[in-house]
Amino acid sequence: MEYFWIILLLIVLLIIRFSLPFLRGKSGEAIVKMVLGKDKEGEKHIINNVTIVADGKSSQIDHILINDRGIFCIETKNYSGRIYGEADQQQWTQVLAFGKRKNKFYNPVKQNWTHVRRLSEVLGKDYPIYSVIVFVQNNIRFIKANNVVGLWGFRRYMNTIGLEGNLTSEQIDELSETVKAFKENSPVTAKEHIHEIKQMQNELQRNSCPRCGGNLILRHGKYGDFYGCSNYPNCRFTKK
């Protein structure tokens, strides 16, 4: 029965594939949410769409799974076409229309590590938090990153990471309540989070560091030219 709903959601995904990016993203999150299943007291809890605030910055986490293996911070991507990227690159590439169209987007591995860091500050650094990125359309052939999986291999991958029995039933329930309480009393609304993203984009266009306000300076690195913050090493922000 569970697989019937997954297939149904995939059909819906195909219908809206060429519609608004917002709808594509939400449909991908709905599919991953379905695969994660329902809460089981003392065994697992899933909290979706959590906004975490740390250092005056906000991060929107698609899914947080808490079970006996640990805490999993899950980022969902519903991009079509071929995706090229490596774990340490600043930007990845989406190739569409048989190579005629190419789009750049921020490396989701780096994006989700920011989410993990901020979630760790909320829950405490004593708990294991694992970063997982799911590409719903399974187009991960040209991606070189260990923690990036397709939808079909997602469930199997989740059973291979973490340490079974790492968290007790009491810890699972307590951590879940902490995240849920934080979500319900988030100091930042969804509208404010979107405004912050737009503000960061504007700062990047002005060559101003979105983290500390310093100037972005052209530098030469191992993987090509990039812009680094003038306040390095105190600020390590970079832009390709």
For residue 173 the two structure tokens come to: 């329930």
For residue 147 the two structure tokens come to: 């923690």
pLDDT: is 214 or 14 the higher one?
A: 214
Model-wide pTM > 0.75: no
**Given a cut of 80, is residue 89 above it in pLDDT?**
yes
Q: Where are the beta strands (DSSP E) in 88-195?
A: 91-96, 101-106, 129-135, 143-144, 148-150
Neighbours of 123 (CB within 10 A): 18
Element (H, E) at 36: helix 21-36
At a CB cut-off of 8 Å and minimum separation 6, what does 10 contact? Answer: 31
Dump pLDDT digits (tens) for 48-58.
999 887 666 77
At a CB cut-off of 8 Å and minimum separation 6, what does 200 contact? Answer: 210
Rounded CA gap, 196 and 211, in Å?
11
Q: What is the predicted pLDDT for the residue at 193?
A: 45
Q: Directed axis angle between helix 169-184 and helix 108-123, to 10°?
A: 100
Dump pLDDT digits (tens) for 116-163.
988 998 888 788 899 999 999 999 999 999 999 999 999 999 999 988
Rounded CA gap, 103 and 233, in Å?
30
- For residues 142 and 84, is the Cβ–Cβ distance under 8 A? yes
Q: What percent of the chain shows pLDDT beyond 70?
A: 73
Average pLDDT of every residue of the chain: 81
Dump pLDDT digits (tens) for 20-64.
555 566 778 889 999 999 999 999 999 999 988 766 677 789 999
Mean predicted confidence (pLDDT) in 79-87: 95
Rounded CA gap, 68 and 173, in Å?
10
At a CB cut-off of 8 Å and minimum separation 6, what does 229 contact? Answer: 209, 211, 212, 214, 215, 216, 217, 235, 236, 237, 238
